[in-house]
């Protein structure tokens, strides 16, 4: 009995240790429900040219549409110094992983890490050949995000090594209220 109790306590203690959760893809997405228009409220990326410049941190947009079985059409629009730029690509579902990709167009993976179909976190991997760039997008159907989703965005940004490049985007015409995640103000959205 005495030998069993310390072993049980050891197992419980090891099991209760805080572990760094790595982002995982969601395997049970209803793509018809997830499809549609999403505001991009925040972005963290190491992708060259994807991060908006300081003066142009307006909200972005992501539109997903189911084309055929196992295909998604993705349109990504972000504010740039010369105005809004949009990229459109058709992605195919991987047979073994919960990811959509189009290697020929430079999209190595689109992973939905979390969604309640009103908000979501999406990891986008871009690049060709051996080069891979990571981006994390905080999506919402409305112009605001819950505290929990914003906290998850910042946590996963840190895990992916993107926390220094996290930017909270703002509605058109708003003054710069928070900017980089390092100077995060929780009163970003009304």
pLDDT digits (tens, 9 = 90+) for 135-174: 999 999 998 889 999 999 999 999 999 877 777 776 655 4
Q: Are 29 and 111 in contact (CB under 8 A)?
A: no
133, 125 Cβ separation under 8 angstroms: yes
pLDDT tens, position by position, 120-140? 999 999 888 888 899 999 999
Per residue, what are the HEC states of 68-104? CCCEEEEEEEEEECCEEEEEEEEEEECCCCCCEEEHH
Report how far residue 28's alpha carbon sits from residue 104's, in angstroms, rounded to the nearest whole number: 26
Distance CA 74, CA 59 (A): 17
pLDDT in tens, 30-89: 989 999 999 998 888 887 666 555 555 677 889 999 988 889 999 988 876 677 778 899
Could you tell me how far CA 31 lies from the centroid of its own chain? 16
**Candidate ranges 23-32, 159-168, 181-190; pick with highest mean pLDDT:** 159-168
* Integer Cα distance of 58 and 64 in angstroms: 20
| Domains of the chain in sequence order | 37-170 (2.40.128.20)
Report the Cα–Cα distance between both ends of the chain, in Å, rounded.
Answer: 59
């Amino acid at each position: 009995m005495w030998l069993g109790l310390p072993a049980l306590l050891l197992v419980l203690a090891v099991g209760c240790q805080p572990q760094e959760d790595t982002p995982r893809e969601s395997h049970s997405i209803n793509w018809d429900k997830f499809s549609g228009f999403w505001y991009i409220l925040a972005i963290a990326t190491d992708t060259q040219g994807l991060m908006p410049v300081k003066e142009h941190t307006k909200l972005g947009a992501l539109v997903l549409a189911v084309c055929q079985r196992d295909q998604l059409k993705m349109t990504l629009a972000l504010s740039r110094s010369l105005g809004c730029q949009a990229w459109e690509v058709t992605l195919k579902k991987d047979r073994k992983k919960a990811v959509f990709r189009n290697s020929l167009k430079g999209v190595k993976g689109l992973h939905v890490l979390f969604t309640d179909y009103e908000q979501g976190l999406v990891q986008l991997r871009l690049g060709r050949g051996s080069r891979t760039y990571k981006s994390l997008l905080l999506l919402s159907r409305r112009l605001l995000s819950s505290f929990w989703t914003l906290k998850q965005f910042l946590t996963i940004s840190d895990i992916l090594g993107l926390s220094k490049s996290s930017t909270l985007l703002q509605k058109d015409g708003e003054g710069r209220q928070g900017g980089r995640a390092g100077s995060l103000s929780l009163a970003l959205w009304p």
